Structures are given as structure tokens and as C-alpha cells.
């Protein structure tokens, strides 16, 4: 159930020119305000607020088209016998997790920078990194999404009664997408909840006719928000990528057919990049599928030695981090302009 909030707000004038605005108007960018108190002089200079899409803009201005042949720039061995997920931190580090309680932060050279022992009985259901670069993970037993601060886990979200959290994806706006499920086995129900703080902002589960968008089953959904607000979801139970617009309407589905792959399509990790391209791992076919934001197939990346890839993220420099068995591969796939 989507919730919304409205409030009244007093008009605030620019501190420099008294125009109605929130704090400083655009025309006062770079101007200074001097204050003298008791012989002390202070100068305030208006600097622009950081834009939520700064990382995207940085990428979009520095990259062009897909490379003809991708380049593996790092292969990082890990201590996990089976990697489940990756979450990038900046341009040269990532959190990874697998089949134990510990989440590990590694750099592109393979050095371990930090470890977090989670509250989970077995292993996390999913991990992500917030806009403020804080680690979050899900604990499906306690039905919580936890955030790590000062090396301690704090409960950030408790999912609705009967629904357990699995995979996570933090959006550029600061919201968190959480795959939640109810039940066990092939009859498990699946949906995605968009949280703004601790509040449910949106639920994605049924189309306009009341039909479920996602297939019943006990596999996790992987998701990523595209630059246009679409939710791109890897529905492992249906062996399909589902793209839903910001209102919850299904725009299209992708079943891997255009790639002419040998084995059945088996999507797992999914990301969107600065060009709004949709990239998904294919576990059975040891490759990546790349589409544009409208579902047009662009290419299949099968020339970088991937083995049963699952986890997938893109860093702020446009490199792909792919979790595959017991290792992470860092891949360049976009040309510089």
C-alpha cells in the first residue's frame, strides 16, 4: 500500500538577495556574505548543493558506447566458496557476501579492507550500499534490514508481519528497494517494497488487472532502479527480466531469446548504468546480457571467462563487478568518449 505525506512550509527568502527560495537562489551562486561581530569577521560563500545524480552525470560525460571486446582488469579471489552478492563502494572497493555470516569489503587489488559479522543465523539475504556509503543487509530470520554504523548493526527496517526480506537495492534518491517473500518453496509469494526511511512508499506486486507481476517461487528477485525511474527486476522464478515503470505498470519482459544462447536463460544479478542500459548475469550461460532501457537487445558478453555469475554491480567509474563462484571479476565494457 503506497503512502504519501503532505505538509505546509513557510516561504524562506535567499540569505543574500531576499528572493523567495529554500536557502540560496541560483543567481547568488558563488557570492559571499560577510558578518562582523565584536571585531571578528566571517565570510560565507554560497556553494551548490550536491546533486543526487552526481555520479550518473560524472559517468555520462566520460563514456561513450559499448566496447567491441570487454576487458577484465582484475580477478579477485575470495574466501567464500560461493559468492551471493556484490555492492560497490566508490570506484575501487566493494562489499561481498556468500555462504557465511560475514560481509567483507575488498579493494580492486584483492586486499581485505574491513569485515562485518552480521546478526544472521546463516548468511544475509542481500546487501547494498546507501547513498551515504553505509552498508545495509537483510536478516530474513528476524525480518529486518540492518545498517552498519560504527561497526555495529542497527535495525533500519522491520518488514510487514509474515513477509521476510531478501535482496536489497539502494536508489539514487536514498530509498531502499526490498524484495520480500511470504511462505516457503514453489508457492512462496514475492513482491518489492520501496522504503523511504522506515516508511513504505510503494509496493510492486500486481498489475492493473490484479495479476501478480512476479512468479511464485523461493528464488530471490534481483532489482535495480534505472535513470528514468523504471524498476528493472530479475525474476529468477520465471527466468525473465521484468521492467516496471515508476507507477508499477509492466513495460516489457525479456526472456533471453534475442541473445541466441545455448542453455535456458537463468537471470540473476541486474544493474543499470549511466547510459540507462540494463545488464543482467546469466547463470547457466556464463555471460552477461545488455539491453537498452526499452528492452532492445544490444549484445551478450561471453568472452571474459565468467563461471556461473550471480552478483553484479557497477561502480561510479562504469566498471562492472561480477561475483562468480569464489571470485570477483572487474570488467571494463564501455569506451571513453
Query: What local confidence, expressed as pLDDT, does residue 219 receive?
Result: 96
pLDDT above 70 for 160: yes
pLDDT band at 12 (very low <50, low <70, confident <90, very high): very low
Q: Cα(94)–Cα(57) distance, rounded to whole angstroms?
A: 21
Q: In the predicted model, is pLDDT for residue 259 greater than 90?
A: yes
Cα–Cα distance for residue pair 130/89, rounded to 1 Å:
9
pLDDT at 74 over 70: yes
Rounded to 5°, the CA angle 291-178-286 comes to 40
How far apart CA 89 and CA 131 sit, in angstroms, is: 10
Helix (H, G, I), strand (E, B) or coil at 54: helix
Task: Provide the pLDDT for residue 62.
Answer: 54
Q: What is the pLDDT of residues 105-138, one digit of tens each?
A: 999 999 999 999 999 999 999 999 999 999 999 9
Give the three-state DSSP class for 29: coil
Burial string for 248-263 (b: 16+ CB within 10 Å, else e) reads bebeeebebeebebee
* pLDDT more than 90, % of the chain: 75
H-helix segments, the chain: 54-60
At residue 43, does pLDDT exceed 80? Answer: no
User: Distance between CA atoms of 301 and 312, rounded to whole angstroms?
Assistant: 13
Task: Tell me what the mean pLDDT of segment 258-267 comes to.
Answer: 95
pLDDT digits (tens, 9 = 90+) for 270-292: 999 999 999 999 999 999 999 99
CA angle 149, 219, 142 (to 5 degrees): 40
Residue that is written with C-alpha cell 537495492 in the block: 169
**All structural domains of the chain:** 10-49 (no CATH), 54-336 (2.120.10.30)
Please report the pLDDT score of residue 20 as a whole number: 44
Cβ(126)–Cβ(85) below 8 Å: yes
Q: Given pLDDT bands bounded at 50, 70 and 90, which one contains residue 58?
A: very low
Residue 74: count other Cβ atoms within 10 Å of its Cβ.
17
Are 280 and 289 in contact, with CB atoms under 8 Å apart? yes
Q: What is the mean pLDDT of residues 326-332?
A: 96
Distances from the Cα of 92 to the Cαs of 80, 96, 143, 151, 312, in angstroms? 20, 13, 31, 21, 15
Model confidence at 336, pLDDT cuts 50, 70, 90, reads: confident
Check whether 16 has a pLDDT greater than 90. Answer: no
pLDDT at 38: 56
- Reported as a pLDDT band with limits 50, 70 and 90, residue 208 is confident
For residue 35, what are the β-bridge partners? 42
Burial class (CB in 10 A: 0-12, 13-18, 19+), 48: exposed
The 8 Å CB, 24+ separation contacts for 235-238 are: 235/190, 235/267, 236/266, 236/267, 236/268, 237/190, 238/214
d(CA 61, CA 39): 47
| Averaged pLDDT of the chain | 86
Looking at residue 237, its pLDDT comes to 98
Q: Is pLDDT larger for residue 60 or for residue 83?
A: 83
Overall average pLDDT of the 169-195 stretch: 95
Quick one: average pLDDT of 239-260? Answer: 96
Residue with cell 525473465: 240
Which has more pLDDT, 27 or 242? 242
Cα angle, residue 232 at apex, residues 309 and 81 outer, rounded to 5°:
20
* Other CB atoms within 10 A of residue 294 CB: 12
Q: Which of 246, 250, 149 is nearest to 207 (CA)?
A: 250
pLDDT at 77 over 60: yes
Shortest CA distance to 239 belongs to which of 273, 219, 265, 258?
265
Q: Which positions ≥6 away from 185 have C-beta within 8 Å?
A: 218
Determine the pLDDT at residue 1. 39
105 vs 251: CA distance, rounded Å: 36
Cα 202 vs. chain centroid, distance in angstroms? Answer: 17
25-40: pLDDT as tens digits = 444 444 555 555 555 5
> Which grid coordinates are listed for 311?
552478483
C-alpha cell at 307: 563461471
Amino acid at each position: 500500500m503506497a503512502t504519501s505525506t503532505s505538509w505546509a512550509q513557510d516561504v524562506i527568502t535567499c540569505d543574500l538577495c531576499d528572493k523567495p527560495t529554500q536557502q540560496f537562489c541560483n543567481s547568488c551562486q558563488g557570492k559571499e556574505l560577510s558578518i562582523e561581530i565584536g571585531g571578528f569577521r566571517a565570510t560565507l560563500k554560497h556553494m551548490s548543493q550536491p546533486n543526487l545524480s552526481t555520479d550518473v552525470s560524472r559517468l555520462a560525460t566520460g563514456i561513450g558506447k559499448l566496447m567491441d571486446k570487454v576487458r577484465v582488469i582484475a580477478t579477485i579471489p575470495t574466501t567464500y566458496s560461493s559468492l551471493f552478492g556484490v555492492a560497490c563502494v566508490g570506484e575501487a572497493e566493494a562489499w561481498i557476501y556468500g555462504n557465511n555470516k560475514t560481509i567483507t569489503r575488498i579493494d580492486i587489488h584483492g586486499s581485505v579492507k574491513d569485515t562485518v559479522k552480521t546478526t544472521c543465523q546463516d548468511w544475509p539475504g542481500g546487501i547494498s550500499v546507501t547513498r551515504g556509503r553505509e552498508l545495509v543487509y537483510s536478516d530474513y530470520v528476524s525480518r529486518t534490514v540492518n545498517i552498519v554504523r560504527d561497526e555495529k548493526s542497527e535495525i533500519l527496517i522491520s518488514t510487514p508481519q509474515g513477509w521476510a526480506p531478501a535482496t536489497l537495492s539502494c536508489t539514487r534518491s536514498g530509498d531502499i528497494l526490498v524484495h520480500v517473500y511470504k511462505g516457503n518453496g514453489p508457492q512462496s509469494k514475492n513482491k518489492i517494497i520501496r522504503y523511504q526511511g522506515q516508511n513504505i512508499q510503494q509496493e510492486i506486486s500486481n498489475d492493473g488487472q490484479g495479476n501478480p507481476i512476479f512468479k511464485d517461487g523461493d528464488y530471490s528477485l534481483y532489482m535495480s532502479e534505472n535513470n528514468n525511474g523504471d524498476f528493472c527486476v530479475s525474476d529468477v522464478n520465471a527466468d525473465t527480466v521484468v521492467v516496471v515503470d515508476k507507477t508499477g505498470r509492466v513495460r516489457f519482459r525479456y526472456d533471453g531469446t534475442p541473445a541466441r544462447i545455448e542453455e535456458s536463460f537463468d537471470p540473476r544479478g541486474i544493474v543499470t548504468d549511466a547510459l540507462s542500459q540494463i545488464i543482467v548475469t546469466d547463470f547457466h550461460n556464463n555471460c552477461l546480457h545488455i539491453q537498452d532501457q526499452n528492452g532492445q537487445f544490444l549484445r551478450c558478453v561471453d568472452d571474459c571467462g565468467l563461471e556461473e555469475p550471480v552478483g553484479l554491480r557497477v561502480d561510479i567509474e562504469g566498471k562492472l563487478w561480477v561475483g562468480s563462484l569464489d571470485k570477483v571479476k572487474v570488467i571494463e565494457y564501455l569506451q571513453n568518449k
